[in-house]
Structure 1
């Protein structure tokens, strides 16, 4: 596991540099433990990114601050829009102003991921962490995708929530239903909802009208008739026999073209 081979590197980067704060003892203790062998609210597919999510979950569980860590992910998502390309490789997570409000557990995890060259997988870590928390709280989160801010698309959000409620009711789930609003700039109008592995969409994307004829104006089934070209044959018995044979094939082809096969 990559976590084992990089422990010294990650811990050195966190603790030895004067620019960095010393990690909290509880995080260091959890990091050195076999936390991934502990029990979790639900099973997930094992992967390198899931180990980071398991660490974050156990860190949040010990202090009951799941909501704070969930908010951290939103903060990071908003901050990355202002950071340079490939910020995952270049920025100092702990000293970046946009990340000052993050919890120590999130900072620790991001620096650990960065030491492994895996900070680009933070979205996967977030998804797994949310899966753990939702299972712990026995809730289902429906993701609602809209073109812009919620205040500008209240009607779309209302319709999407109704669709999510129908999906939730049809599944006869005993878990509570919650909603998460996601802005999708690929949408020009409409909405989409993702709930309990089902997806429903009324969204339309951006497109440019063609300056030429519309597709409905072109009938691609009405092709001009092919004008056959008469082949000139040499005057001998062999070519005469071959000519008659090929003429017969051409006749069959013409009949198929008119009457079908």
Structure 2
């Protein structure tokens, strides 16, 4: 673009006062052989505002689940809460019918790593830990987050796993800085998990989000510091490591084709934030 043209992002500013300095800096990194995002991965101001509206509803849905989730409830009832609250507030549950997924939310218990399918026959009981993964569409814009819930008194090993998972996410968030790299996040998470005797699932990770449910980049949590894509203002993605008690390996349920289990029947925990890279730092949009 010419310096004095209006910027491609629709901000109303001239290119030289908007994205030109950012793209010049990206070019310098690219010339050093680093992976840089395309313009498509940089959300515009208008898009960011729309995505934030979706994110606000996504957080409200999780808050609604938190009010009602309890021992004796079926995971199908959690799905009902998510569907009802989302649709009543003008949203669409993103998982519903996504690549054939049959429900509005993922509910993953104990040794289930992710993509658990709600079922009227799965009843929450004392000692269970469950990840509730909510994703929302509002006016065509996507958001995503998950939380861990404890059913009554849980074991010390389950408590510790959830605590370390929370710490991993916070450390990953602290390592995320504009003009750093996705690998910085991964290194902080993987280092802390391993220091506590846990493993991080390697093949399943985070993802870009906002205009689609799953966008580039893939966000690994096991790559080295300084590696992977450059973190540029306008990028939006999830931080959602899956921390396993034992092996990082897994298998997928052959019957439903979705639910992912730990290979050794160990516990697994996951917490998901959705974040935006800004010129000043990282903004958490959902948690």
TM-score > 0.5 by shorter chain: no
Q: What's the TM-score, normalizing by structure 2? A: 0.24
Between Structure 1 and Structure 2, the one with more helix by share is 1
TM-score where L is the length of structure 1: 0.26
Higher relative contact order (CA 8 A, sep 6+): 2
More strand by share: 2
